[in-house]
Amino acid sequence: MIIKGLLASMPRQFRLFVIFFVLVLNLGFFTGFNFVRVTTSMNASGIEQNYLGNEMDEDADEMHFKKSEQEVLTLIHNHILSLSLIFFVLGALLYMTHVPYKLKSFLLFEPFVSLILTFGGIYILWKGVIWFKYVIMLSGMAMVFSLLLMSALIIWSCLFPKRTEG
């Protein structure tokens, strides 16, 4: 069975269904990303404060307390389960495109590595390995970039099926 290019050969209605799915999925993902922006200010010290608190900083604008182990484990559990399913579905759709082999191979596996580094890193940070906040930041950015690129390539393949044939 030939899977490469299968998405472009699907009926228009199915390709529109995929486009709407990917767009709504991105809406949900970036709503969560906006939550990260609000809670961490998108910087390393914000990540640290969000999980470890800032009670000792008398000049802090907003007081944060260290999250409990239950809170951290719940956050990690929920995100790894849900995001792994999201990246599985996007990966399956990407697999059915004419994206070049090396790029496709990278995008199929990179989000899972970033997922483990980001959310495993949150636990490691919470356990006191402070420098891991930089790993969390970089792997989180890689995960977002992968989602955007996968989404764009899938939508492109659905919108322009004749241009994507190999």
- d(CA 122, CA 102) in angstroms, rounded, equals 30
pLDDT of residue 47: 92
In a domain, 1, yes or no: no
In a domain, 164, yes or no: no
In a domain, 38, yes or no: yes
Q: Give residue-wise pLDDT tens across range 14-34.
A: 999 999 999 999 999 999 999
At 164, the pLDDT band (50, 70, 90 cuts) reads low
More confident residue, 45 or 118: 118
- d(CA 59, CA 62) in angstroms, rounded, equals 9
pLDDT of residue 78: 97
**pLDDT at residue 1 is higher than 80:** no
Q: Give the chain's domain count.
A: 1
In a domain, 69, yes or no: yes
In a domain, 165, yes or no: no
At 58, the pLDDT band (50, 70, 90 cuts) reads confident
In a domain, 90, yes or no: yes
pLDDT of residue 134: 97
Q: Give residue-wise pLDDT tens across range 84-131.
A: 999 999 999 999 999 999 999 999 999 999 999 999 999 999 999 999
In a domain, 95, yes or no: yes
Q: For tokens 């999980």, what's the residue?
A: 51
In a domain, 73, yes or no: yes
For residue 112, give the nearest of 79, 138, 83 by alpha carbon. 83
- d(CA 25, CA 39) in angstroms, rounded, equals 21
* % of the chain at pLDDT higher than 70: 97
- d(CA 113, CA 119) in angstroms, rounded, equals 10
The domain of 23 spans 6-159
